[in-house]
Amino acid sequence: MTRALIIAVDGPAASGKGTIAARLANHYGLPHLDTGLLYRAVGVGVLEQGGSLDDQQAAEAVARALDAASITADERLTNGEAGEAASRVAGYPGVRAALLELQQAFASQPGGAVLDGRDIGTIIAPDAAAKLFITATPEVRATRRWKQLTGRGETIAYEDMLADIIRRDERDAGRGAAPMVQADDAVLLDTTDLSIDAAFDAARRIVEAARAKNGL
């Protein structure tokens, strides 16, 4: 039986992992899941219910009721508030447990899948054939996100964006439940000085090397 091609793409906010993962999925004809949207949906769901992001039980209830098929990258889930909310609720063990099975089911589809997030290679799909950890300097990542948000009409100072990026990095890497770390067998790809086309080409070559190694 041919082993499925599961591609795990991890990394911090605005590193380019989502764009790279989507292009890899298109290139290999695989389904793609941006797992960050799941956590954003939980955070936004709590806020829309009038709840507090400090209420772990409320966040867990939203996570248990989540339907991955209904999650799309609409503006409601991609603004700055949603990103901050996601980083807050992602630290709750109950939220992560509620979403674990959903993500693992997506990864186990026949033929494989591409998933991007912060714990794909370590927790969600530790046996993935190809693992990438995408990163870039905080300053470059803050610039990318600042341009994205201000381009959509949001008002935020670059300095505040940089502070937010650093704060989220510290929260994601320091949480007790599935912290953001590079898997031991993941290949590091720094996109600081790369265009998206160059970054994708580098990522594709990493996947091709993994395919050859695993006979896929």
Neighbour tally for 67: CB within 10 Å: 8
Distance, in Å, from the CA atom of 97 to the CA atom of 94, rounded to the nearest integer, reads 5
CATH number for position 134: 3.40.50.300
Domain that holds residue 79: 5-214
Q: Which amino acid is at 79?
A: N
For the CA atoms of the chain, what is the radius of gyration?
A: 17
In angstroms, rounded to a whole number, what is the distance separating the alpha carbons of residues 83 and 162? Answer: 14
**Into how many domains does the chain fold?**
1
Per-residue pLDDT tens listing for the chain (216 residues): 357 999 999 999 999 999 999 999 999 999 999 998 999 999 999 999 999 999 999 999 999 999 877 777 777 888 878 888 988 998 899 999 999 988 999 999 999 999 999 999 999 999 999 999 999 999 999 999 999 989 989 899 999 999 999 998 998 888 777 788 999 999 999 999 999 999 999 999 999 999 999 999
Per residue in 71-124, pLDDT (tens digit) is: 777 778 888 788 889 889 988 999 999 999 889 999 999 999 999 999 999 999
